[in-house]
Amino acid sequence: MEFLHTLNPLYSLSGLFVGALVGFTGVGGGSLMTPLLVLLFGIHPATAVGTDLLYAGLTKISGTAVHGHNGSVDWRITRRLAAGSAPAAALTLLGLAYFGHDSQTASAVITTTLGVALIATAITLIFRAWLLAKVADTLDKLDDNHIRLLTVLLGAVLGVLVSISSVGAGAIGVTVLLMLYPKLPTVKIVGSDIAHAVPLTLIAGAGHWFLGSIDWSLLVSLLIGSIPGIAIGSQIASRVPDKVLRPVLAGTLAVVGGRLAF
């Protein structure tokens, strides 16, 4: 009963908003939640990242279930991404454990990496169409073996980014997947990206749990809002236009990223 008094409705409201955003765009989990926790609620960077990772993993299980039920997950892509991200996340967590996750150096690394990742996310959101057009001809010439290798490499990069900052699996992952698999419907790319984020964030979150950087009352508060939020967002994913949402989200991420990185 005492634990219930530690739950914060403001965290739950934040979880609802971010969960819905993740469900219909595949973007916005760590990109919005971690900076919200650090800048708005004053949570320690290591605790914000660790708690957000477990929150994201548990939240995206419901999103994966909805996308899987709707047939909008390509499990081949999910397996390729996981083959790169799982070992990369494990190695990154070992590095954090070695240097001390709650040290001043680790906090500076987490905050700077988070800021840079947010700016990169904003760039991929704004210039997605241009980036896709630029690489289309080159990637069209690659066979499936090369595409598989690049997908595994993408997974490894995401594994490092997500483990340090909890950011990267959304806009960056979706944009590169759209380049590598241009013939797949966007909703299937989003669904596959969300499905891959489940094992990645759970592995990274478990590592942060071992390091002691999880706030359980914060986690439960976020889940109360985000689980229904992502289920609703995933259900309407194919019907919601993002022409207005994308530039607004990108602008927000760029400002927050600049604040954290510099």
Check whether 193 has a pLDDT greater than 90: no
Domain count of the fold of the chain: 1
Q: How far is CA 1 from CA 4, 5, 6, 7, 216, in A?
A: 5, 7, 10, 11, 15
Check whether 218 has a pLDDT greater than 70: yes
Q: What percent of the chain has pLDDT over 90?
A: 13
Q: Average pLDDT for residues 189-209, to the nearest whole number?
A: 87
Contact 201, 41 (CB under 8 A): no
> What is the per-residue burial (b if ≥16 Cβ within 10 Å, else e) of 196-229?
bbbbbbbbbbbbbbebebbbeebbbbbbbbbbbb
Q: What residues have CB less than 8 Å from 19, skipping those under 6 apart? A: 59, 225, 226, 227, 228, 229, 230, 231, 232, 233
Please give the DSSP secondary-structure letter assigned to residue 26: S
Check whether 70 has a pLDDT greater than 90: no
Which pLDDT does position 1 carry in this prediction?
47
Q: Identify the residue with better confidence: 241 or 42.
A: 42
Helix segments in 70-143, DSSP class H: 75-99, 104-126, 128-140
Contact 26, 186 (CB under 8 A): no
Check whether 244 has a pLDDT greater than 70: no
Please give the DSSP secondary-structure letter assigned to residue 38: I
Check whether 169 has a pLDDT greater than 60: yes
Reported as a single tens digit per residue, the pLDDT across 171-189 is 678 888 888 888 888 788 8
Nearest to 92 by CA among 162, 42, 28, 147: 162
Q: What residues have CB less than 8 Å from 180, skipping those under 6 apart? A: 139, 147, 150, 151, 154
Q: What is the average pLDDT value for the chain, to the nearest integer?
A: 80
With cut-offs at 50, 70 and 90, classify the pLDDT of residue 148: very high
Give the pTM.
Answer: 0.77
Q: Compute the distance between CA of residue 63 and CA of residue 241 in angstroms, rounded to an integer.
A: 19
Which pLDDT does position 103 carry in this prediction?
66
Domain that holds residue 110: 3-261
